Amino acid sequence: MATDVELPITMDRAPSGGIARRCLTRLTLYFSKRRERQVLSHLSDDQLRDIGVSPSEARNEINKSWFWG
């Protein structure tokens, strides 16, 4: 005869995927992309070629929306 076993549920700490963690991760990603785009905007055409990026690709990346991209 099988019996149902209920596992105790404890709520002593926030889940690891909490809103604060998600906000911090999103904010960190935003600042990282912002910093990379600023650096990219200051590279010469020769430097862009060295890293395998065309000037038009660099412009497209630099001009991406701060909010969506």
* DSSP secondary structure letters along 8-35: P---SS--TT-HHHHHHHHHHHHHHHHH
Average confidence (pLDDT) over 35-52: 94
The identity of residue 3, as a single letter, is T
Percent of residues in the chain assigned helix, strand, coil, to nearest 5: 55, 0, 45
23 burial via Cβ count (<10 Å: 0-12, 13-18, 19+) = exposed
Q: What is the pTM of this model?
A: 0.63
pLDDT in tens, 4-36: 666 666 556 655 669 999 999 999 999 999 999
Domain map (residue ranges) of the chain:
30-69
Q: What is the pLDDT of residue 48?
A: 95
What size, in residues, is the chain? 69
Residue 3's pLDDT band (boundaries 50, 70, 90)?
low
